[in-house]
Every structure is written in structure tokens, then in C-alpha cells.
Amino acid sequence: MTNTQKLIQAALDCLENSYAPYSHYNVSAAVLCASGKIYTGVNVENASYPAGICAERNAISHAVACGEKELTAIAIVGGANYSASDYCPPCGICRQVMREFSDPQKLIVIFAKSVTDYKQMTLEQLLPESFGPEMLGK
């Protein structure tokens, strides 16, 4: 199994933990950090809709909570009723959070239906002309 397939499999393995009782659209993500460690997250909806969190931001927050600050890849799986039936690109907020913890030219973003059926792009392709921490003097 390739590293890409391992990352996709980690996202697939976590999909059943998604909490989406309102939209019934379940999403899971797995991030690969520069350390080589993988962290997962799922979407968690809330009756007060804006209080929910996307799987991608959940996985990134998990990584950051464990001391990671540099992402190298992220795999995203999702679809209705716990299926990985759609290519599931990240929303705009998630793209911006990815930007905070990566080099947009190097971060690989993978949308997968299975370990053999996936698309991948760089974050720069998904978020061109992005605003990042270096613009604030970091």
C-alpha cells in the first residue's frame, strides 16, 4: 500500500464516526504531517448549524493539539449516509486553515472514493493567490 493509499484508508476507517444527523452527509479527513504521523477528524454537526465543524478542520485541530504545525498531505472522503461516494473537495474555510499550516505549493489535497479511486491537487491549485501567515510578518 502506498503512502497515499494509507492516508486515504485512515480517512475511510474514521468515516463511520462522523456525526451528521441533519445533512446526512458524512465526511472524514486524515492529515499527514511532516513528522510522518497521521491524524484524523470527522464532520460534527450541531443543531445550531454554525457550531458544527468540518472534518478537515477537525483533523488539523487534532494534529495541532498533538504539537504538529506542518501538513504535507490531506485525504478527504465523504458522501451521504456514511458512504465514500463523492469526490469531496474542502470548503473555503478549510482551505484557508490548511494554508495556515502548509506550503500551498507542496500540500497535496486528495479527494477519494476509495484507495484506488481518487483525485489530487495542490492547495495552491485549490486556493490561488492565498493569504498566509508570512503576510503578517510571521
What amino acid positions are annotated as catalytic residues? 56
Question: Angle 55-65/92-100 helices, nearest 10 degrees?
Answer: 20
C-alpha cell at position 102:
502548509
Alpha helices in 67-108 (DSSP H): 92-100
The edge-to-edge listing of strands for the beta sheet with 71-80 is 38-42, 25-33, 71-80, 108-112, 118-122
How buried is residue 103: exposed, middle or buried, by Cβ count under 10 Å (0-12/13-18/19+)?
middle
Q: Look at residue 98 and give its three-state secondary structure.
A: helix
